[in-house]
Amino acid sequence: MSSTPRTGTSSLPTPRTTAGRPRTRPSHQWRTHSSALRSPSSAFPASRSAAARGRTSPGSCDGAFPGVLVRDLLHHVTDRRQAAAEAVRVLAPGGTLVVLEPNGRNPLVALQARLVPAEAELRRFTPESVLAALAGLPLAPPRVEMAQGLPLRRLVLHYRFGWPALGRSRAGAALLARLEDFGSRLLPRGRWSYTVVRSKHL
């Protein structure tokens, strides 16, 4: 059996829709192109990439990966439970699952949810939402951490309504980092911007 690390994606539920249209465009969220797989392979030559389109994930992917990362996904899908179950299905026994999701209790995350229609669900998304999606799956008791207290860069550098050029300035980036650090000290940890859940496949 090869010990070569692998990365990949599995089948995903249909994204939430607004007025009958997908909130995210299939061109960059759901379609798989061969060119998209060349990037991780070139960055990590020892890795092996795998992908599946829609609900056609092959059964041979069962237990195929030693680690699975689910980031910024659950709040975009209609069936969070199905998405979480797919992540666990392709995870090898003893493998590590890591889920990162924004916390709607954070003031800046909540503000972004109001400014960006595709992120509206974030206002109702909390650490409990992540745990509910994982409940009952064959996982060890999850460990929950909170990260990134005050994500100023999430808004200030946003490509739609922010000032991305500020992030390319050393002085600007340093100022934002100091402000984020100061804000994180004032904000209770339960209101930090990211929920990080780690668990092991039983």
Per domain, the residue ranges of the chain are 6-149+187-200, 150-186
SS3 68: strand
pLDDT 10s digits, 3-38? 333 333 333 344 443 443 333 333 333 333 334 445
Q: Which whole-number Å values give the CA distances from 80 to 17, 26, 128, 197, in the listed order?
A: 15, 18, 12, 15
What CATH number was assigned to the domain covering residues 6-149+187-200? Answer: 3.40.50
Residue 174, φ and ψ in degrees, nearest 5: -65, -40
Residue 146, φ and ψ in degrees, nearest 5: -115, 140
Which residues of the chain form beta strands (DSSP E)? Answer: 6-8, 17-18, 21-22, 48-50, 65-71, 91-102, 143-147, 194-200
| pLDDT tens-digit profile, the chain (202 residues) | 433 333 333 333 444 434 433 333 333 333 333 344 455 556 566 666 666 655 545 556 899 999 999 999 999 999 999 999 999 999 999 999 999 999 999 999 999 999 989 899 999 999 999 999 999 999 999 999 999 999 998 889 988 888 999 989 999 999 999 999 998 999 999 999 999 999 999 9
Using CA atoms, how far apart are residues 196 and 67, in angstroms rounded to an integer? Answer: 15
Q: What are the structure tokens assigned to 61, written together?
A: 């992917």
Cα angle 113, 187, 123; round to 5: 20
